[in-house]
Amino acid sequence: MLDAARVKQDFPVFDAYPDLVYLDSTATSQKPRAVIDAMTRFQAETNANPHRGIYALAEAATTAYEQARADVARFLGADPQTLVWTRNATEAINLVARAWGATNLGPKDTVVLTVMEHHSNIVPWQLLAKEKGFRIHYLPITKEGRLDMAKAREVIRPGVKLLSFAHMSNLLGVVNPVKDLIELAHRTGAIAVVDGAQAAAHLPVNVQELGADCYAFSGHKMLGPFGIGGLLAKRELLEAMPPYQGGGDMIREVTLDGATWNDVPQKFEAGTPNAVGAIGLATAVEYLTKLGMENVWQHEHDLAEYTLQKLDELPGVTTYGPHSDDRGGVIAFTIKDVHPHDIASMLDEQGIAVRAGHHCAQPLHAALGIPSSARASFGVYTLKEDVDALVGGIKKVLNVFM
């Protein structure tokens, strides 16, 4: 079991704002003291440019940086040499689109996405489709807010070269049947790209067991800092893909006529890396590992169930996504005739931070028939009392508007 009240004490933001009810962990998680301290320590005691110097301090920086890669890869069940550091999940998906997509996709091909994708898993493919002429097919959702698997089985057939989908939706909270989808993709010879931005810090993930060809994640949503994330990809894919960006460290040799490439993963890591971010993220996953990812999932799932039960009792409140075991701690909701921005503003006046808008998921809102929504989302430090405060806050909104 996770003792969220104990865990909360590790997050200095709640010392600074003791009354803050933070319900926006889907946008970004708060950071524990251990992460902030590890980053400060690295900059104070180990600061040198990794992979570039042979003096002792530079060696120490390289060792710490590569250890961070190993730790984060292990956390997600991957070989460290298959982890490419990126700025965030968005950059990881763009990397796959540019490096793999640009060389493997053409006018006869189809890329399958879902309507529940974050814009970061739609727009890179749309940009590339304009250049390469391939078709994009979007899998729909069912009435309960799950991916329509019957449609997936119908659509994912020969001619589909790539399937890309969110492990967990940032709006519906639903965890997609990743293994089944990957199997469907592989049966037709397509590669499967999983957007793990909302899953990596909320449930146990083992990319090798899942069989994902590519898996994207963002450190800032995993109790880690901004500016670090990664792409995990099968080694043979990384070996076959051309570089994504050119610059220092990604080359083996450069002449005035051209260049040869470094080994993977460095082939995709041009320029000075975000070593501080990598150290911070490694500390964050160590923290999560100590909590136990099964416990994290159970805690956030239980909070989601509790929230749905409470919100369903309120007149005029609609929640989205299934009420079921495969539901994580993200609750999007609307209130009849009240703009989500008004909901968020009124909650903010009560010290409750929720997000309002389209949450970078406009096509999903369109599929749900709403322009926008309010969203409460949970983390390891979220308490039942936070949900009670939310419910009380929504009741006040209802009193004003109804």
Ligand X SMILES: Cc1ncc(COP(=O)(O)O)c(C=O)c1O
Residues annotated as catalytic are: 360
**Contact flag: residue 88 with ligand X (CB under 6 A):** yes
Determine which residue in the list 110, 114, 170, 176 makes contact with ligand X, applying CB under 6 A.
170
Closer of 172 and 338 to ligand X (Cβ): 172
Q: How many CB atoms lie within 10 A of CB 61?
A: 22
Determine which residue in the list 78, 147, 197, 311 makes contact with ligand X, applying CB under 6 A.
197
**Contact flag: residue 82 with ligand X (CB under 6 A):** no
**Contact flag: residue 182 with ligand X (CB under 6 A):** no
Q: DSSP letter for 307, please.
A: H
Q: How far is the CB of 357 from ligand X (least distance, A)?
A: 12
Closer of 122 and 250 to ligand X (Cβ): 122
**Contact flag: residue 29 with ligand X (CB under 6 A):** no
> What value does the CA radius of gyration of the chain take, rounded to a whole number of Å?
22
Q: How far apart are CA 385 and CA 22, in angstroms?
A: 11
At residue 18, φ and ψ (nearest 5 deg) are: -60, -25
Token couple for 244: 């994504």
Q: DSSP letter for 23, please.
A: -
Closer of 116 and 303 to ligand X (Cβ): 116
Token couple for 375: 């969203």
Q: How far apart are CA 201 and CA 395, in angstroms?
A: 31
**Contact flag: residue 218 with ligand X (CB under 6 A):** yes
Q: How far is the CB of 45 from ligand X (least distance, A)?
A: 29
Q: Are 71 and 290 spatial neighbours (Cβ–Cβ below 8 Å)?
A: no
* Single-letter amino acid code for the residue at 298: Q
Q: Which stretch binds ligand X (CB under 6 A): 63-71, 88-96, 269-277, 303-311?
A: 88-96
Separation in Å, CA 331 to CA 24, 47, 323: 10, 41, 10
Report 94-153 residues binding ligand X (CB under 6 A).
118, 120-121
**Contact flag: residue 200 with ligand X (CB under 6 A):** no
Summarize as ranges the residues that interact with ligand X (CB under 6 A).
88-90, 118, 120-121, 166, 170, 195, 197-198, 218, 360
